[in-house]
Amino acid sequence: MRRRPVDSSVVRAVGYDRDEQILEVEFHNDRIYRYFVVPHKVYQELLAAPSFGRYFNEKVRDRYPVRQVDR
């Protein structure tokens, strides 16, 4: 999945697969997580949020099934 860089002190980049509704988040600590069944609207709002980290923590983390991706 292609990821795009974001302006965040914690997250390096994010990607989204619209067909599968998978949000992929790469953190600055080199860990990558895939969040499943994430609506496209949530991805769009995440990218447009004034604070990426705040939106992620409030609307994504602990709200969707997640799996860490091995490098």
What are the tokens at 45?
A: 């709002």
Residue 5 neighbours by CB under 8 Å, 6+ apart: 12, 13
61 SS3 class: coil
Write down the pTM of the prediction: 0.93
Residues 59, 61, 67, 69, CA torsion sign: positive
Instruction: Give pLDDT tens digits for 4-16.
Output: 999 899 899 999 9
> Residue 11: which H helix or E strand, with range?
strand 11-17
Instruction: Give pLDDT tens digits for 15-47.
Output: 999 999 999 999 999 999 999 999 999 999 999
